[in-house]
């Protein structure tokens, strides 16, 4: 407390102010309070107090009355450990999570890189395999293309050959074949020859090659040899090249039915025109046979050769009475 007179700080129990020497408020209060007999302490309590006073330094060293009261320095108790702020904990947790996430990302990226590298390697191998397959496919395609080209060329060649192939011949049946649209060539006597040099002439008939083209059925060419005349032939020139489409032939001696039977008749003839060769087989009939070519044969001459015969009853002379050559009108 403070002195009511001078304001000096004094003890609460001081009766006089050590500075001004005037009595304090506590002294006045003590005088006014009735005296009361304080309870006497026991012997044990007095002994304990004496022992404590003897041990106290202040008890050993009496303080002068005028000395200023000793102010005790407040004992600084150790500050309790401060609790960590929740913000710091949160930041620490965030940093820890970031570190864990970064580590996981790094590991994952490494695995991803390894996987990507493996996939890239596999992809590269696949690309090489694809290139190899593409090369193989291209080779196969080229081979197939070559084969297709070969087949196409072969087909075109076949078609070309078919177009340029030798025409075939057909023998028309019937006694009066239809030759409408065809023109008969006029064969000159000077353009006819025969392979045999034998002179087939008697008092009434001439049997040279011209007799087969003179337009008279009663006259005929006969080969003139003593045998059947196999291999003998006659030739007629046309004076120019024409598209020959059909031939008419009266085979044997057509002077009469009797002469027809007595002489040999051609059974098979080889026909040569325009560098092409045809073979025709004929029936043993006294009629006009018609040979038609599947397509016109361009030729400037014709040769007929005897290959087989029907034997005559009396003579071995093979005869051809009449030959007609017809061209296609263009």
Q: Read off the pLDDT of residues 32-50 as tens digits, 9 standing for 90 and up.
A: 444 444 455 556 556 556 6
77 occurs within a structural domain: no
Poorest-pLDDT segment among 60-69, 143-152, 168-177, 292-301: 60-69
> What's the pLDDT score for residue 28?
52
220-277 confidence digits (pLDDT tens): 999 888 899 999 999 999 999 999 999 999 999 999 999 999 999 999 999 999 999 9
Q: What was the pLDDT predicted at 3? A: 84
Q: What is the mean pLDDT of residues 268-287?
A: 95
Check: CB of residue 282 under 8 Å from CB of residue 318: no
3-state class (DSSP) for residue 287 = coil
Do the domain assignments include residue 319?
yes
Residue partners of 146: CB distance under 8 A and separation at least 6: none
In a domain, 207, yes or no: yes
Between 223 and 82, the higher pLDDT residue: 223
Q: CA-to-CA distance for 271 and 76, rounded, in angstroms?
A: 150
Stretch among 61-70, 142-151, 167-176 having the lowest mean pLDDT: 61-70
Looking at the domain assignment, is residue 279 inside a domain? yes
User: What backbone phi and psi angles, to 5 degrees, belong to 185?
Assistant: -75, 145
Of these ranges, 127-136, 149-158, 168-177, 321-330, the one predicted with the greatest mean pLDDT is 321-330
The pLDDT score that the predictor gives to residue 267 is 97
Is 96 a domain residue? no
Q: What range defines the domain where residue 26 resides?
A: 1-30
pLDDT of residue 94: 83
Residue 3 corresponds to which tokens in the numbers above? 């002195």
For residue 231, the model assigns a pLDDT of 94
Inter-residue contact 317 to 223 (CB < 8 Å): yes
Q: What pLDDT does residue 37 have? A: 45
80 pLDDT exceeds 60? no
* 72 Cβ contact list (under 8 Å, min separation 6): none
Across all residues in the chain, what is the average pLDDT? 77
For position 259, which CATH number holds? 2.60.120.260
Cα(225)–Cα(260) distance, integer angstroms: 18
Q: Is residue 217 part of a domain?
A: yes
Q: Is residue 106 part of a domain?
A: no
Domain count, the chain: 2
Cα(299)–Cα(245) distance, integer angstroms: 10
88-114: pLDDT as tens digits: 788 888 888 888 888 888 777 776 666
Question: Is residue 272 in some structural domain?
Answer: yes
């Amino acid at each position: 407390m403070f002195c009511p007179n001078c304001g000096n700080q004094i003890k609460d129990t001081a009766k006089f102010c050590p500075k001004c020497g005037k009595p304090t408020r506590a002294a006045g209060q003590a005088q006014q309070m009735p005296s009361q007999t304080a309870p006497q302490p026991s012997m044990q309590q007095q002994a304990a107090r004496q022992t404590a006073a003897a041990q106290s330094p202040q008890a050993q060293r009496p303080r002068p009355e005028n000395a200023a009261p000793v102010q005790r320095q407040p004992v600084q108790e150790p500050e309790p450990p401060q609790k960590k702020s929740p913000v710091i904990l949160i930041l620490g947790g965030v940093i820890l999570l970031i570190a864990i996430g970064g580590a996981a990302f790094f590991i994952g990226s490494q695995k991803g890189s390894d996987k990507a590298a493996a996939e890239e390697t596999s992809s590269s191998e696949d690309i090489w395999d694809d290139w190899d397959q593409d090369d193989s496919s291209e080779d196969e395609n080229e081979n197939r293309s070559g084969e297709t080209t070969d087949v196409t060329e072969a087909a075109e060649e076949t078609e070309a050959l078919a177009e340029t192939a030798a025409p075939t011949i057909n023998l028309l049946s019937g006694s009066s074949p239809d030759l409408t649209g065809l023109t008969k060539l006029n064969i000159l006597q000077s353009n006819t020859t025969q392979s045999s040099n034998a002179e087939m002439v008697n008092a009434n008939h001439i049997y040279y090659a011209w007799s087969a083209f003179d337009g008279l059925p009663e006259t005929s060419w006969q080969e003139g040899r003593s045998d059947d005349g196999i291999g003998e032939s006659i030739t007629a020139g046309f004076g120019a090249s024409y598209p020959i489409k059909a031939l008419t032939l009266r085979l044997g001696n057509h002077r009469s039915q009797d002469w027809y039977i007595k002489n040999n008749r051609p059974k098979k003839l080889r026909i040569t025109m325009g560098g092409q060769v045809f073979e025709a087989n004929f029936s043993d009939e006294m009629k006009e046979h018609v040979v038609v070519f599947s397509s016109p044969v361009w030729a400037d001459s014709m040769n007929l050769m005897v290959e087989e015969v029907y034997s005559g009853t009396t003579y071995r002379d093979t005869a051809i009475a009449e030959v007609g050559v017809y061209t296609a009108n263009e």
